[in-house]
Amino acid sequence: MSTRKSQPCMRSEIYCHGELLHQVQMAKLYQDDKQFVDMPLSIAPEQVLQTFTELSRDHNHSIPREQLQAFVQEHFQAKGQELQPWTPADWKDSPQFLQKISDAKLRVWAGQLHQLWKKLGKKMKPEVLSHPERFSLIYSEHPFIVPGGRFVEFYYWDSYWVMEGLLLSEMAETVKGMLQNFLDLVKTYGHVPNGGRVYYLQRSQPPLLTLMMDCYLTHTNDTTFLQENIETLALELDFWTKNRTVSVSLEGKNYLLNRYYVPYGGPRPESYSKDTELADTLPEGDREALWAELKAGAESGWDFSSRWLIGGPNPNSLSGIRTSKLVPVDLNAFLCQAEELMSKFYSRLGNDSQATKYRTLRAQRLAALNAVLWDEETGAWFDYDLENKKKNQDFYPSNLTPLWAGCFSDPGVADKALKYLEDSRILTYQYGIPTSLQKTGQQWDFPNAWAPLQDLVIRGLAKAPLPRAQEVAFQLAQNWIRTNFDVYSQKSAMYEKYDISNGGQPGGGGEYEVQEGFGWTNGVVLMLLDRYGDRLTSGAQLAFLDPHCLAATLLPSLLFSLLSR
């Protein structure tokens, strides 16, 4: 790989590393470290660095706070200056799916969520192209939809659920532009970065690009676009193969699977002071490894969670994070699904040799999933700990990702998954599926519930041929819709996550305040309203009047007897 690809953050001694970043972030001029690294430069970076170097030298490399503040105000612009609001050209009133929603209140709400795409639309100003060195934003040609709140740029895995919602809103051209942006990034950097900033280039996020293409094709049948970009999709999967593969030896056999792994030290620029202070609690020799593991946790999309703390010497502290020591269920299910889709794409394009290659890769991964991650006794898949050579048997919705991804061979898997949810008492949570049952204070743990994780479980069950699995999927959808609708009714906002411990509320925990918007939350709600619009209700109590629904929510064990009569 070229230096640009292997050390992308070295492009910027302002936004990614160096003394200027260190002094500004450790002075905590802003409540959120992300604010500073999102601020454009007023002049060329060389001039900014030269002025800073002189100022720092004059103050023995410790510039007083007031003068540092004045320096930043003089040489940087307010964040968000490089983006302008954008109303998608393909947005229109009354997309067809709204007519499928029987409940009048839910239909009005869905219409309001459809309106939100205009609020979340962004377009880059021309100067990001003409003077890229002055911005942490990576130039993208096409406008896009952002998550919302502090996240004013696009993010990789968020965009999949955003695109699903956009396609229901009949906005295929917007989706095509967003897809093209991601494909352009792969051509330039060899992978899709975590998000659209230079400081995110060292890491990726859950690899859903192939799935995004599949969704777009399903809605448009645009085979020409596939033909033009199939090699770029292959290039992205190659990144994961070359840089994120790990071998697991079990019972004399070797299995190749993937993990999240970012082989770069240094604090994350957007969380610089937190990462630095956390590292200060460790011996100096352990700090670079900590920072690499934090970046791997960010690459997982689950930043942060007990999933990545388990099995270490201190499972209750973020300083014990060990993301790269675990083989994650969801990552391998996403890649298994991508391999199946690539096989399908190549067959569609008449390239049988490449279709066979990806079919073989999927078969190998399926065997590895079954051997390393599947647990027959429990009826679910579990992350595998490479150091302790055992599965993490704690509950996470990600444990059922292979069901969602269609990456299993046993036709009885849905039945077993349903029993697993019942045994874990997950069906007793009335406001959504919890992210874990661990209360660590991290945002990807209890009591938070996240839209994409609801989708993983709900669609996984809904696709099963079992009527009772489909009924539980519906009830889980009803619970999540009610939580989102009730919070929206109170606050006129959608949130990135929800606290399900005491009724539905906006979520909390983690490194920043809960954010409004919100791209993937809106997308999942629209997907559920599209799938179940004829049955879902806005009434808080109505869902519990039906004995089947009551069973699914309150008495899971009763569900089986009710539905088997």
| Active-site residue, 228 included | no
Cα–Cα distance, 474 to 532 (Å, whole number): 7
Cα dist. 385→5, 292, 312, 391, 439 in Å? 29, 18, 10, 6, 21
| Cα radius of gyration (the chain) | 24
Phi, psi of 230 (to 5 degrees): -60, -35
Catalytic residue from among 445, 496, 499, 530: 496
Question: In 3-state terms, what secondary structure has residue 325?
Answer: helix
| Active-site residue, 303 included | yes
Cα–Cα distance, 398 to 284 (Å, whole number): 34
DSSP 452-521: HHHHHHHHHHHTSS-HHHHHHHHHHHHHHHHHHHHHHHHHS--BSEEE-SSSSEE---TTS---B--HHH
* Closest to 166 measured CA to CA, from 229, 103, 92, 238: 92
* Closest to 455 measured CA to CA, from 384, 362, 522, 378: 522
Contact between residue 517 and residue 506 where contact means Cβ atoms under 8 Å apart: no
Spatial neighbors of 289 by CB under 8 A, at least 6 apart, are: 265
Contact between residue 132 and residue 147 where contact means Cβ atoms under 8 Å apart: no
Catalytic residue from among 303, 330, 445, 471: 303
**Amino acid at site 222:** D
Cα–Cα distance, 347 to 4 (Å, whole number): 34
Structural element, H or E, at residue 182: helix 172-189
Cα–Cα distance, 483 to 506 (Å, whole number): 10
DSSP state of 194: S
Handedness of CA 336, 261, 139, 7 (dihedral sign): negative
**Amino acid at site 396:** Y
Phi, psi of 264 (to 5 degrees): -130, 135
Residues forming the active site: 303, 496
